Structure 1
């Protein structure tokens, strides 16, 4: 069971959640959805609303689901599930396998985008904008060499956090 709270009531360090504990970003519906791990992201305020930002490389299967839907979720999980979930969702493509079933997670479809029963914290986000990192934008030229040797610069998705759910 989940309970809805305000984003300002989240007690955990969200930077730690994203960077060290990882998360799943998910989009789609009951007919078709996909999820992928994210360890780069940000939360804050943009355009007067609480916002989550996720970065997705263009070749990722999940991107087509985010592009074709108005909502996505960002789910954080208990530490003991990290290996089980991210071992699958961070290394396999939904084009080739049913990652959700293989990771042993249960989708919930009572919001505008799927989230997972096993999550401890869920951000339900309405897509507001999409951008893209471009080589000319990088002031630190070492970033391109280190992170983009294949020139597959991340797309940036900005989502208004419309609902925050925590596990009771």
Structure 2
């Protein structure tokens, strides 16, 4: 299906449901070399006079290398009917298997920014990296948060300026 560019101001959704309950795919790279992962932690907002997306990636995730090495990343939001697809992309590593093929996803490359998203997505946010920060336990004001890191594999947070929004055409 085709996607059309829309203004971010025209979007209407609940980010807590969209990210935390329905999940998203974080993808980086070009059509010849990319990786994707499922995420249910992240944020959307406004900082430094621009719309942004925050995503966090643990060091052992193969996708992190692609986000680190590329200027852009995408957040693809699929419908509820793709829950098993999202589970596959969260369970398997692109280092070991072709999870995009396993999940029966159709990668597409944005012509303008040369970054990858998925045809099955209802909504795609194309983000230009503008900041990163490693999560460090010394900064947890609520020490119970460290319970999420039993392996001490603290996330790296990436902030991306949302430079393009694509919506599936109905």
Match of 2:23 in 1: 22
Q: Which deviations, in whole Å up to 9, do the C-alpha atoms of 1:8-60 show, x marking residues without a partner?
A: 21122122100000000000012210000010000011111000000000110
Q: Which blocks of at least 5 consecutive residues in structure 2 are unaligned?
A: none
Aligned-partner Cα distance in 2 for 1:14–1:4: 19
Match of 1:93 in 2: 93
Using structure 2 for the length normalisation, give the TM-score.
Answer: 0.95
Cα shift at 1:110? 2.3
Q: Does 1:152 align with 2:153?
A: yes
Match of 1:126 in 2: 128
Q: Considering only aligned residues, what root-mean-square deviation do their CA atoms show, in Å?
A: 0.8
Match of 1:137 in 2: 139
Q: Does 1:82 align with 2:96?
A: no
Match of 1:55 in 2: 56
SS in 2 for 1:89: helix
Q: Does 1:114 align with 2:91?
A: no
Task: Report how many aligned residue pairs link the two structures.
Answer: 166
Aligned-partner Cα distance in 2 for 1:142–1:12: 30
Superposed structure 1 runs of 4+ greater than 2 Å apart: none
SS in 2 for 1:26: strand
Cα shift at 1:6? 1.4
SS in 2 for 1:21: coil
Cα shift at 1:87? 2.1
Moved more, 102-111 or 149-158: 102-111
Cα shift at 1:127? 0.4
Q: Which deviations, in whole Å up to 9, do the C-alpha atoms of 1:100-144 show, x marking residues without a partner?
A: 111000000124210000000000000001101101110011110
Using structure 1 for the length normalisation, give the TM-score.
Answer: 0.96
Q: Does 1:162 align with 2:163?
A: yes
